[in-house]
Amino acid sequence: MVQKEDVHFLIDNAPPAEVEYVLACLELDIAYSTEDLRKRLLSEWGYSAQRNLTFSTRRLLDLGLADKANTASGKHGHVITQLGEKVRGILSIDRELYTEIMHFLHYTSYDGSPSSRKLLWSYRTCCEIVWARKQVPPTPELVAEVQSRIAELFPSAYASRVGGNFNAGGVSSGWKPWLAQLQPSPFASEGRALVPRHSHRLELAALALDHVYRSRGYRYGDPVILDEPLLDEIARVFFLDPICCRELIDLAARLTKAIKLSDTFTGTSATLLAPYDVERL
């Protein structure tokens, strides 16, 4: 069956707090409709959901944290997935790691297939632009750059004007709120500078290395040279300072069985021996 092309580039307003509350309400075996969830958010959390609550339920679906199912009355509903349970468990014990994982899922979930959600492509593209510039450009400039890339990479969608729907709201209420959750923040407290982050979490470097393996089509067990371009690509996933990122890779190689480092004539090589994904945390 031919997959229908997704052409929704706008990052909808799915507030992090609302997404978190919806995730908390979902169950594996009982499906809840959007209206059921709206009532539960108010009664159990005192949270008044936005009118378009479907933005948040759909985001959980896009990230693999929820799935579609029929309610007991036959309505369209939502259930949590095993990955969703894993992420919810992380939230219950380590909120900062949860925020890193939610950013990671936004950054990595676009896989290039026709049905893969383009709003997740837009999310990653915004990250790539600010990382390359080492600053956050004015919103109109960032929007124009994203639209330029849409026109270049998805010309038919852009020509039909469907792909041109990425706008300022996609930056201010769609992309930035998720980055603002990260600690430390990649944004300077004043001005537009991007501040490469320092972290003690080896999981971030291991997850990012796994993403690079998958996106580049590398096979697990194949060594890759940790040269400057590759290290920059790994660091970019979590906005890590490259030196810190390299130190985290070294730490992961010492403390886990997932990564092996070797010295070669062309530099240090890293070998990811097996998948390192969120399920492994």
- The CATH number linked to 246 is 1.10.10.10
Whether 36 has a pLDDT exceeding 80, the answer reads yes
Which residues of the chain form beta strands (DSSP E)?
66-70, 76-80, 223-225, 259-264, 267-272
Q: Which of 58, 93, 128 is the last residue of a domain?
A: 93
Q: Which of 272, 185, 202, 184 lies closest to 244 in space, CA to CA?
A: 202
Flag whether 185 is in a domain.
no
Flag whether 7 is in a domain.
no
Co-location of 176 and 159 in the same domain: yes
Query: What is the per-residue pLDDT for 44?
Result: 92
Whether 12 has a pLDDT exceeding 80, the answer reads yes
pLDDT in tens, 202-211: 999 999 999 9
- Domain span holding position 240: 202-280
Flag whether 248 is in a domain.
yes
Query: What is the per-residue pLDDT for 162?
Result: 66
Co-location of 70 and 129 in the same domain: no
Whether 190 has a pLDDT exceeding 90, the answer reads no
Tell me how far apart the alpha carbons of residues 41 and 19 are, in angstroms, rounded to a whole number: 11
Tell me how far apart the alpha carbons of residues 26 and 11 are, in angstroms, rounded to a whole number: 23
Co-location of 208 and 265 in the same domain: yes
Tell me how far apart the alpha carbons of residues 201 and 222 are, in angstroms, rounded to a whole number: 24
Tell me how far apart the alpha carbons of residues 145 and 82 are, in angstroms, rounded to a whole number: 37
Flag whether 193 is in a domain.
no
Backbone phi and psi for residue 269, each to the nearest 5 degrees, phi listed first: -105, 145
Co-location of 83 and 111 in the same domain: no
Flag whether 207 is in a domain.
yes
Flag whether 141 is in a domain.
yes
pLDDT in tens, 88-103: 999 999 999 999 999 9
Query: What is the per-residue pLDDT for 2?
Result: 60
Co-location of 162 and 117 in the same domain: yes
Q: How many domains does the chain have?
A: 3
Query: What is the per-residue pLDDT for 255?
Result: 96
Whether 163 has a pLDDT exceeding 70, the answer reads no
